[in-house]
Amino acid sequence: MMGVISWLKSRKSASRMALEDLLADGFFTQPAKSGVAVTWKTALQATTALACARVIAEGLAQVPLKVFRSQGGVRTPAEDHPLYGLLGDAPNDWQTSFEFIEQVIMHLVFCGNAFVFVNRGLGRIAELLPYEPQQVTVKRDGYVISYEVTTDDGRRIGLSASEMWHLRGPSWNGWMGLEGVCLAREAIGLSLATEEHGARLFSNGAVVGGVLSTDQVLNEEQRLALRKSWEARHAGGGNAFKTAVLWGGMKFTSMTAPNDQAQFLETRKFQVEEICRAFRVLPIMVGYSDKTATYASAEQMFLAHVVHTLSPWCRRIETSIAKNLFSEEERRQGLYAKFMLNGLLRGAAKDRAEFYARMYGIGAMNPNEVREYEDMNPYEGGERYRVPLNMTDPAEPEDDDNAEDTAHAAPQL
């Protein structure tokens, strides 16, 4: 094995693929117990794993990521800060903010780590450039973290921690995220194995594998001709359910268990749930639900997805932005980034109307804030907070003499 690695290090391939790329692509990957090599590339071919990653990545990419400045309890959009446009519109010359967030979350979900080069100029962040996880090597010397990036042409570039925005998923050691694909290797591997089994079954005309046997002695030419004739007649989906004719005392013996005995469909359904558990995604979000689900329960599941699946990822990214992209002085000035998830929690129109009425009735929201949630333009005077006429601020306590006189005064009719 060491000889192969040394040869790979010394050899310059035509595509100039780095050694890390070969390792990440599963060149030396230990296969799952199902016999399938599970990497981030093969995991993308597992529909449930792909759906889990997409529902998280697209869920966060579709909501605005805004930069605010909080001063004296008043929150205002920090439109003058460079990150406002980079995170909200375009982080670089070729990506939109949607594409950027989607890519970063896909890296986090599958690989546990996402790496973004922070290009600074004149003390300001000019652009954010994402790298593929397999291109970056993380180095640790005590509590000092540094990075080495392998470019497409094979060059290695060293970067300091201040130059790299390193987003981590759930971590065991604190400086590297755990790879989601590796943690769910067995569940994804079994899903891929059952899918391959079904595909091969139907490619063979839905006929299980077996042995053709006869008491006669066949030479090699006859055996090859028999195999070719049988496969031409019965292999492939177009040959399904055709009648097999055996001659010369031949017998067909099945060597595999029928799908109903192997619980093929049950296994495939269960793997959907297993992969969803690994990625903490409700099965209904990937298009899988049981017959007991109702409209009301489905609505609550969608809200639960926002609260229990998306919100932790939001908090993870928001704190990472504060730590890596804002300076200590900017944090003291009240700058922070926030995903605006309110749009995903709005629910039905009737529920929104009741919520707005209650918040407006206690003076917690003004009309312009309500209109902003509904993507409507503000109007003059709508920034005022109002309460019902039968409610007022509590009066200041009176002195003892006045209080006593007031207590004995006759009520005014």
| 42-99 per-position pLDDT tens digit | 888 888 999 999 999 999 999 999 999 988 878 889 999 999 999 999 999 999 999 9
pLDDT at residue number 346: 64
User: Which residue numbers in the chain have pLDDT < 70?
Assistant: 1-30, 33, 197-218, 222-223, 226, 230-264, 291-296, 343, 346-349, 375, 391-413
DSSP string, 72-101: TTEEEE-TTSHHHHHHHT-SSSS--HHHHH
| 195-239 per-position pLDDT tens digit | 776 666 666 554 555 666 666 666 777 667 767 776 666 555 444
Report how far residue 246's alpha carbon sits from residue 253's, in angstroms, rounded to the nearest whole number: 12
Report how far residue 274's alpha carbon sits from residue 113's, in angstroms, rounded to the nearest whole number: 22
pLDDT at residue number 20: 44
pLDDT at residue number 333: 93
Beginning with the edge strand found earlier in the chain, give each strand of the sheet holding 74-77 in spatial order: 74-77, 65-71, 335-339
pLDDT at residue number 89: 94
pLDDT at residue number 205: 54
Report how far residue 356's alpha carbon sits from residue 351's, in angstroms, rounded to the nearest whole number: 9
Nearest Cα residue to 111 out of 160, 167, 194 = 167
Single-letter amino acid code for the residue at 64: P
Question: Across the strands, what pairs with 122?
Answer: none
Report how far residue 285's alpha carbon sits from residue 56's, in angstroms, rounded to the nearest whole number: 10
pLDDT at residue number 4: 37
- Contact between 149 and 135 under an 8 Å Cβ cutoff? The reply is yes
pLDDT at residue number 407: 44
**What pTM was estimated for this model as a whole?**
0.71
Report how far residue 324's alpha carbon sits from residue 326's, in angstroms, rounded to the nearest whole number: 6
For the chain, the structural domain boundaries read: 13-203+260-343, 209-255, 346-391
- Contact between 239 and 233 under an 8 Å Cβ cutoff? The reply is yes
